[in-house]
Amino acid sequence: MTDAAASVPVRRLSDWDAAELHTLVEDYGSPLYVLDRERVRENYRRLETAFPDAEILYAVKANALGEVLSTLREAGAGLECASAGEVQRALGAGASGSEVHYTAVNPPARDLDWVVDAWADGPELTVTAGSEDTIDRLEERGYDGRLCLRVNPGIGAGHHEKVATGAAAKFGVPAERAVDVLADAADRGFDVVGIHAHVGSGVSSDQLEAHREFVARMGDLARNVAGVVGGLEFVDVGGGFGVPYREDEAPLDLESVAEATREALGAVDADLTIEPGRYFVADAGVLLTEVNTVKEARETTVTGVDAGMTTLLRPAMYDAYHPIRNLTAEAGDGSIEAENGPAGRERVPQTVAGPICESGDVFCTDRQLPASKRGDVLAIGNAGAYGYEMANQYNSRPRPASIVLADSEARLARRRETVTDVTRPEREARSASPTDRKNDHDRATDTDNDPVR
């Protein structure tokens, strides 16, 4: 890996090798998630260079695959977890308690029970609470360890209103009450170590002023808190660093973001902590899917594929744009003619749609692509973040397999589900005893079910 390679700010879908991806579908079937571990490392190194003095945590919710967690841990990142299941994955990937932050948002009782038990074995684990009620519930369970308070700064930003968390009432204690809440927690014996907020997900360069104002408010709050409860270890300003999904969209000016963050935070006697997720993994992954139906509709050509909103939810959920390539067309005669139609195929407007019985199950509408044929393999770019993590079994559809590229080799990281996997909980419920059924909720985070692999 050269420094020049690491400095490339974004990997476009056109940078992936079409023949190699096509071969993966031949070997492993479709739909198929593919993730490049080296690209994850490159993204980490670039961010580490921009924020040399910051503690870097990876937001596990972006992609919780065990291979991703181990890659980023080896690179030097800690792990920020939004659930007990993610904490379990982090510990299963080899993280110690000191490398894990659990950020609770209205946590279920079983989550708190499991995390407090894990804290007993790893007392350096940090719990971030987003309400006074959560602090009470932790105290009831005997937790008096490292406590960080999530605050609501009243500023939100991001790629969609559904992920602009900084001003949403759901997240955090209002900033104006934070000092009192933390003073009370310290009086009750908690080890108050930090404050945390997250402005939103997918923040772009043109939202830098909102990011700057958000960080400035966190700096002011940190100084106020320190005057009341003593020094803090860290001020966590979250992540949300955006990536360019559209081909003509410029990458985030990371150096400018880093400089603006340091200037806005100001002088605080605490470390800066950031917790990106999408930035590490989005352009490290693609989704491969096979064309099964081509239909001439009244106003468009519908290209039906075997992936759908159960495989990649972002287009249906957020109206998100993802680039698409026809790999088969490009490999048809060994040439790539991006402007005039690969392999001589004419470009025609196409609506690429999945097999789910919902009108929202489309990846694009009337997009100019090489004319598709049944059996073609399409690649959907920037699928490494919130792709498999949001996959589901709606319409009783099994979730896809995942492949990891490492050391110039491809290996299966997650097998493809079957319908038998989808229906297994029902069969097990029918055969369970009344006692088993009554205690089923206690097994929701059972360590016998290894979530890392």
Q: Which residues are annotated as a binding site for substrate?
A: 278, 314, 318, 358, 386
Supply the DSSP string of 299-326, one letter for each residue: SSEEEEES--TTT--HHHHH-----EEE
Report, in this order, helix, strand and coil percent for the chain, each rounded to 5.
40, 20, 40
> How far from chain centre, in Å, is Cα 190?
30
Cβ–Cβ under 8 Å, residues 259 and 271: no
Extract the annotated binding site: 240, 275-278, 314, 318, 358, 386
Catalytic residue among 81, 148, 357, 364: 357
Q: How far is CA 329 from CA 22, 189, 210, 303, 355, in A?
A: 11, 65, 43, 14, 22
Per-residue DSSP letter, 23: H
Is 148 an annotated catalytic residue? no
* Rounded Cα–Cα distance for residues 176 and 224 (Å): 10
Q: Are the C-beta atoms of 230 and 243 separated by less than 8 Å?
A: no
CA 136, 142, 148 angle in degrees (round to 5)? Answer: 55
Residue 48 CA to residue 431 CA, distance in Å, equals 51
- Tally of CB atoms within 10 A around 354: 25
Instruction: Tell me the catalytic residues.
Output: 357
